[in-house]
Structure formats: C-alpha cells, structure tokens
Amino acid sequence: MARKSSETTNKLNRRLLLKGAAAGSAVVATQAIGGFPTVWAQNTKDVTLIHAGGSYAAIKEIGEQATKDLGFKIVMQAITDDVQLNRSLTQPNSIDINNIDSTKLPYLMGKGVLAPIPVAKYKLWSETVPLFTKGSYPNGKMASTQGLAPIEAMFYAGKDGKKLADKPTEFLTMIPTIYNADTLGIRPDLVGGRDKVTSWKDLLDPKYKGKTALVDYAPVGVMDVAMALESRGDFKYVDKGNMTKEEIDKTIKIMIDMKKGGHFRSFWSTFDQSVNLMASGEVVVQSMWSPAVTAVRSRGIDCYYVPLKEGYRGWFVGLAPMAHLSGVKLDCAYEYMNWFNSGWQGGFIAKQGYYSAVPATAKKFLTQDEWDYWYDGKPAAVDIKDPYGALMEKKGATRDGGAIWDRMGNIACWNTVMDEDRYLTRRWNEFVSS
Amino acid sequence: MAILDQTADESAATPGAGAEHIAVDAGGERASWFQITPLVVVLALFFGLPMLVVLAVSFFDFDRTDIVPAFILDNYVDLFRSEVTLRLYTSSIKFALIVWLVTLVLGFNIAYFLVFHVRTVLWQIALFLLCTVPFLTSNIIRMISWIPFLGRNGIFNQALMGSGVVDQPLEFLLFSDFAVIVAYVHLFTLFMVVPIFNSMARIDKSLLEAAHDAGASRFRAVAEIVLPLSKSGIALGSIFVVTLVMGDSFVVRTMSGGQSASVVSALQNEVAALQYPPAAASAVIMVIIVTLMVAGILRLVDVRKELAR
C-alpha cells in the first residue's frame, strides 16, 4: 500500500514537470524521467549505436524516434535468435545495445560480452514493476519461479557479471523492457465457442486430432506440452522449466506417440506460418504469440487467445549494453536505455499487445481509451488501432484475458533454457524426425 | 573443344623446326596452369578451407556456448549410435529416389518432345523459355503457393468436394510426404530438363531416320539410340536433383509442416542451439555420402567422355 501511494506521488511529479512547472524539483524529476540528454550534445552527435534484437522488439520506428529525441543515431537491426547469439559471442563488437530475451542470458553471461549495468545508471528502476525489482506482483504476491523467472535473471552476483544472483544486487543484467503472457490460440468458430477450450490439456484432446500445432522450437514446444500433460494429470514435474532427463524422456515419448497417431497438423517456425495455419483453418488449437492472434483477427477471422485455468507461459526481454562500449559511447548507451523506457516506446509497443516494464511512462503516450483497453482490460470505448494506424479491434471488444495483472499475475512458468538443453535438442530432433 | 582443335591446327600449320614446336607446347602448358589458377584459388579459399575447418570442428568438444579445441570422436559416436541418424538418412534418400525417378520421367519426356516433336527452332526456343518462366519468381514463392492450393480448405480440396469426388477434404495433400514430393518435383524438374535437352539436341537426326528405315519401332529407336546418347544429360540432371534434395531443409520443413525432418534440418537445429561440433560431424558425414552418390552416378556414366564426344 505504501508503495502504491509513492508511485502516485511520482506520477504527479512527472506530470507537473511535463507541464514545465516545478523547477525546484527539476533535478529529482529529471532523474525520474530520463531521456533528457545529460551528456553534452556536441560530443554525442557523431555517435551511432547499433541496437540488435528480435523483429518484435527492434522496431525501426522506435530507433527513428530515439534518434530524433536524443541527438545521436540509433540503428535498429532485426535479427533471428540464432544469428543474435552467434553475433553476440563471435562478433560482439558488431552490436552496441543487445536486445535480448531472458533465455539468451544463460548463453551470454560470464563470456565478457555483456556489460553489467550499475543500478544507479538506470533512472527508472524505482518505477519499474516489482516483478523485475522484487520478483513479486503489485499486490505483493510472489511470482512463479518455474523456468527462468524475472527475479532470477535480473541481477548479477557481482560487478564482474560472472554469475546470476537470485536476489537484488547493485548490478543489472539488462534493463527490462517488454514482457507478456503466452497461451494457446484457438479458432472459436471451429471448436464450437470460446468456452470450449479452458485448459492446457485441451491441446492434447483427441477431439482436435490433426488440427493442433506447436512451435518448432524445443524449449517452448516441450514446455507447452508439459503444461498440458501436467493439467491432464499424467504426471507432475518438479520444475517444468528445468526438466530432468527422465522427465524429458517421458514427455517426448508421449509426444512421439501422439505425432505418430496424427495428432499434430504442423510445427511452425515463423510468425507468418502460425498466422496462416490458424487463418486457413488447418489448425484450430495451437501455441501462438499474442500479435499473431491479432494478425489473424485483423483478417476478419475470429481467433482467441485463451486465458487457461493453469495460467500462462511468461517471457520478458531487455536491453544490455555490450562490454566493448566505453567513454561517450557508453554514456550514450545509458542515455538511450533510459530513453527507451521513458514512454514513447512503451506506448508504441502497448498497441501490439506487449507491456512496458514502466507502465506509468507508457501511459503518457496512450490515450485513456487505449490504456483502458490494453492495460486495464476494459471494453474498448473506441476502435482500437495498431501502432501503424490499422484497425485492430472494433469498439466494444475486450482484451483476451483482461487486465495486465490478471494476465501477467497468472504466470505458471517462464521461458527458459534448461540445464539439459543439449539433451532436449537431441530428443526434439528425434521427435520431429519420428 | 573447338578452341583446342584450332590451336592444334595452327601449330601444325606453323612451318618450322620441332624445337620451336616444343617451346610452344611448354608455353601452352604454363598458360593452362595460369588459366586454372583463379579457379583453384577461389575453390581453395572458399571451399577447401571452410571444409577443413568443418572437419576440424567435428572433432572438437563443446559446452553451452563454446567450442573447445580437442580431438574427440564423441560427435561421430553419438551420430552413429543414434537411430535418428539412420531415420533421417532413410527419409532423405527416400525423397531423393522418388523425386529423381519422377523428374527423370518428366524431364526425359519434356526434352524428347522439345527436341524431336517440335520442328522449328523458333518454337523450340519459345517452348523451352516457357519451361523456365516459373523460375523467374523465387523458389520460396513457388513452393509456398502450394500451401493454399493443397490445404484442407484449399482450392484443390474445394474443387474435389464441389465436384462430388470426395465428401471429406483430403488431409494427406498438405503437410505430408506427398506435399514435400510435389514441391520438390515442381522445383527441380527443370534441372533435369535442361541437361537432357542439351544432350538430345546434339543427336544427329539422321540416326533416327536410319533406325526408322531399318525397321525399328519408335520405342526401340528411343531405347537404343536416344537413351544411350542422352546418358550424359541424364547423369548431370540426376546429380543436380539428388544433391539438391539431399541438401535441402527448407522445402521439407515447410511442406511437411515440420512433421518430417531432413539431415540438414536436424543439423540446423543443432546450429541454432550453438552445438557446432555435432553439426560439423553431421555435415562431414553428409558430404561423404553425397560425394559417394555423385561418384556412383559418374561411375555409371562417364560424363567427361560423353561431353567430349
């Protein structure tokens, strides 16, 4: 409760400052907002920072806006996961700001390619959602720690950045930016209604034989099936996010049997494939990403991102400066990362269904109606548009799953890299080839 | 060939002593070494060297992110012990054989039609170009356009159901081995047509007339004249088709909807998981097997001899 009121005060401070008032509190408030150039502009105008990340995060428009606001150049590079890992490890100098998802951390930390971020350099830390700062929800409840939970991935044990710490320290692994809750997508018109799929176990229901799909990526594909098996009561995992070899074997065996029985229609490996499978009716239940669901809907085909009773699979991404940065360039990197969460980006990405790590700043760049729809789960008071102005939802629609903490507050397991990932890859290859 | 013959004629025509003749030959040899140097350099740098690196890495050890220089056989042992390897190769070779057979029948007949049935060169060229028209768009687009066509609610199924041939959509049409083969055949038939067309076009038409005059049926003329004389084209086409199918991962992944795997798609999964040494071992074995297949084809047909004919 105390926390909540302090947040409100902060918000008020920023509002005041935005109106150009409150000169007295300018120092404090500048720190709170971030994004205002504190590095001398004449030194920075020749600086170029290369921001590399997945296509869902490294968006050209964000780079252009940052370049305009900051006075130095941000180059956005959208790359695939394996290219990102390869470049980060073998040509770390080719990236300045690494937009990594949490599952890249186990690969990259301790390799001397990422620079730990002193908490003091990140001005919005105190306003970041407690999921990242404390591992809890705003209501104080602790978040699930199955898989790689935010609290387990945010902090280095020391400034050398060799090991992760599972409790707050002075060194951040990355600045958390966006996060979301993933679940199954369905075609309500083809399964007989929105209420027909309620649990992960429906993914394996013989009713949908030949009409289901999984993502062709072992760590996520296996976890989705694990959620289903657990809810069907086949067995209970000690930690779905870190299975033992025996657990992997048991899971893969069932998957192979189901595949041979023709249960799966397809395994998709790109965003477009998942959209097309669903839109064409080849598949009626599948693991899916949130913007893919909206992409199907924007074609006028009903698609629903089902809030399942066992909860969601969560993920989060962040920005990490690369270790080769120094001097003015490093200052600019901090400047940019502070800008990143100062609102414009959060507002942009909210309209694709992702949440900002600092929602209060994103709110300034959304209309009240947009905020109500995307964050508060209220019925849309007006037509909802995507960041590029295309119609996404008609007036009156409600976001699948409701408000931010109804969705993010119900994470059963986080995306992760298992200790047995080598073994998992091998077994997954067996599954796909069987 | 023509150029070589010409030089031989010229040197023969040059009046002069034998000594001069030898000098020209030595210079000619030096010149030919000089001529192949660029290709040797390019191949050594961009093919030989990377292959050696792959070979070296296939013996390395690895952990989650690093490859550790070592000399271990584990990558190969794992590869040969795993039943997945056998399954992948069986599946890839099965695809290669079926696709080879279908493209061969198609390619031979199309080429035969173009060469022996189409009488004017203009029409020959026009129809030949027609064969290549689909290749003006990208491979990926040509392949992906099969998906809406063959899908459960696709054009083909709708047509079948509309005409009352079936009352349930045929599921095996898409995301199946059938779909993979359809796409391969569509993509690779031209690679069979072109070399066969090329060798058939060089067959002296009077041979066929002679066969006809001697009372051979058309089938016999094809079997005993056209087929043997287009062997080099068939061999070259076969090499293209077999290596393309064996080296593919994209078609198999897309058209089977990820239900089937190929040797290369399994290798890609390993690369994506940063497991380079096992991927390298798999690549080395793949290169050996495909080389053996190509060597087998070349053993049956001496392409060099046939081309020099």
Domain boundaries, chain A: 2-180+314-368, 188-313+384-433
Rounded CA-CA distance A115/B197 in Å is 61
Angle at B282 between CA B281 and CA B288, to 5 degrees: 90
pLDDT of residue A16: 41
Do B187 and B293 lie in a common domain?
yes
C-beta separation of A97 from A336 below 8 A: yes
DSSP letter assigned to residue B68:
E
Which structure tokens are listed for A150? 């935010």
Domain count, chain B: 2
CA dihedral A68, A73, A78, A84 (to 10 degrees): -140
Query: Does B65 contact A82 at a Cβ distance shorter than 8 Å?
Result: no
Is the residue at B131 inside a domain?
yes
- Residue segments in chain B with a per-residue pLDDT below the cut of 70: 1-26, 306-309
Task: Please indicate, yes or no, whether residues B51 and B79 belong to a single structural domain of this protein.
Answer: no
User: Please, what is the Cα angle at B147 between B141 and B151, to 5 degrees?
Assistant: 165
Chain A contact present for B168, CB below 8 A: no
A17 touches A26 (CB < 8 A): yes
Q: How far is residue B246's CA from residue A11's CA, in Å, rounded to a whole number?
A: 61
Q: Which residues of A touch B273 (CB under 8 A)?
A: 218, 421-422, 425
Q: What does the alpha-carbon distance between residue B273 and residue A11 come to, in Å, rounded to a whole number?
A: 43
Same domain, B39 and B79: no
B231 in any annotated domain:
yes
For residues B7 and B26, give the distance between their C-alpha atoms in angstroms, rounded to a whole number.
14
Q: Are residues B201 and B292 in the same domain?
A: yes
Q: Which two tokens stand for residue B146?
A: 């099969």
The owner of tokens 């003015």 is A328
For residue B306, which amino acid is it?
E
Q: Given this model, what pLDDT does residue B306 score? A: 67
Contact yes or no for B175 and A268 at CB 8 A: no
H or E stretch covering A288:
strand A285-288
pLDDT of residue B268: 85
| β A384-385/A155-156 pair status | unpaired
Do A101 and A317 form a contact (C-beta atoms < 8 A)?
yes
DSSP A142: B
User: Are domains A2-180+314-368 and A188-313+384-433 of this chain identical in fold?
Assistant: yes
Residue A24 confidence (pLDDT): 39
Q: Is residue B166 part of a domain?
A: yes
The pLDDT of residue A393? 85
- Shared-domain flag, residues B27 and B171: no
Please report residues of B whose CB lies closer than 8 A to that of A85.
65, 274
Residue B128 and residue B277 share a domain: yes
Secondary structure of chain B: what % helix, strand, coil (to 5)? 80, 0, 20
Residue B68, in any domain of the structure: no
Look up the domain containing B43 and give its range.
Answer: 1-57
The answer to whether residue B62 sits within a structural domain is no
**Are A266 and B258 in contact (CB < 8 Å)?**
yes
Strand A73-78, strand A48-53: pairing: parallel
- Does B138 lie in the same domain as B19? no
Residue pLDDT tens, chain A, 434 long: 334 444 444 444 443 444 443 343 444 444 444 445 555 556 778 899 999 998 888 999 999 999 999 999 999 999 988 889 889 998 999 999 999 999 999 889 888 999 999 999 999 999 999 999 999 999 999 999 999 999 999 999 988 888 999 889 999 999 999 999 999 999 999 999 999 999 999 999 999 999 999 998 888 999 999 999 999 999 899 988 899 999 999 999 999 999 999 999 999 988 888 999 999 999 999 999 888 898 898 888 999 999 999 999 999 999 999 999 999 999 999 999 999 999 999 999 999 889 999 999 999 999 999 999 999 999 999 999 888 888 888 899 899 889 999 999 999 999 998 999 888 988 988 898 87
Contact call for A267 and B258, based on CB within 8 A = yes
Which residues of chain B lie closer than 8 angstroms to A148, CB-CB?
Answer: none
Nearest to A269 among B82, B171, B258 (CB): B258
Answer whether 0.95 is exceeded by the pTM. Answer: no
Of the candidate CATH numbers 3.40.190.10, 3.30.479.30, 3.40.50.150, 3.55.40.20, the domain formed by A188-313+384-433 belongs to 3.40.190.10
CB contact under 8 A, A282 and B260: no
CATH number at residue B263: 1.10.3720.10
Contact list in B for residue A434 (CB cut-off 8 A) is: 87
* B218 Cβ under 8 Å from any chain A Cβ: no
ipTM of the complex: 0.71
The token pair at B128 is: 């030949």
Q: Residue A403's pLDDT is what? A: 94
Q: Report pLDDT for A386.
A: 85
- Number of A/B CB contacts below 8 angstroms equals 88
Other beta carbons less than 10 A from residue A172's beta carbon: 25
The Cα A368–Cα A273 span in angstroms is 34
CA distance B34 to B9: 22
Mutant choice from A429, A431, A434 vs B, greatest count of B C-beta within 10 A: A429
**Is B222 part of any domain?**
yes
As given in the structure block, the two tokens for residue A390 are: 């295309």
Look at residues B183, B190, B195, B173 and name the one whose alpha carbon lies nearest to residue B307.
B195
What was the pLDDT predicted at B241?
A: 96
Instruction: Looking at the structure, tell me whether residues B189 and B288 fall in a common domain.
Output: yes
> How deeply is A368 buried, as exposed, middle or buried, from its count of CB atoms within 10 A (0-12, 13-18, 19+)?
exposed
H or E stretch covering A344: helix A344-350
Q: Where are the alpha helices (DSSP H) in A183-286?
A: 188-191, 218-232, 245-260, 271-279
Same domain flag for B256 and B294? yes
- pLDDT of res. A18: 41
Interface test with B, best of A208, A255, A276, A432 (most B CBs within 10 A): A432
Who among A107, A282, A429 is closest to B84 (CB)?
Answer: A429
Nearest to A267 among B154, B259, B274 (CB): B259
* CB < 8 Å to A108, chain B: 65
- Partners of B88 on chain A (C-beta within 8 Å) are 433
Does residue B205 sit in the same domain as residue B245?
Answer: yes
Establish if B65 belongs to a structural domain: no
Which residues of A fall below an 8 Å CB-CB distance to B? 81-82, 85-86, 89, 106-108, 111, 210, 213, 216, 218, 259, 264-269, 273, 276-277, 280-282, 421-422, 425-426, 428-430, 432-434
The Cα A219–Cα A221 span in angstroms is 6
Would you give the distance in Å from CA A338 to the centre of its chain?
Answer: 18
Residue B67 in any domain: the answer is no
**CB crowding A30-47: b at 16 or more within 10 Å, else e:** eebbbbbeebeeeebeeb
Give me the amino acid identity at A341: N
Q: Are B102 and B188 in the same domain?
A: yes
Return the CATH superfamily for domain A2-180+314-368: Periplasmic binding protein-like II (3.40.190.10)
Taking alpha carbons only, the member of A219, A145, A227 closest to residue A419 is A219
Strands A285-288 vs A212-215: parallel, antiparallel or unpaired? parallel
Of B82, B266, B273, the CB nearest to A421: B273
d(CA A325, CA B215): 84
Q: Is A109 in contact with B85 (CB distance < 8 Å)? A: no
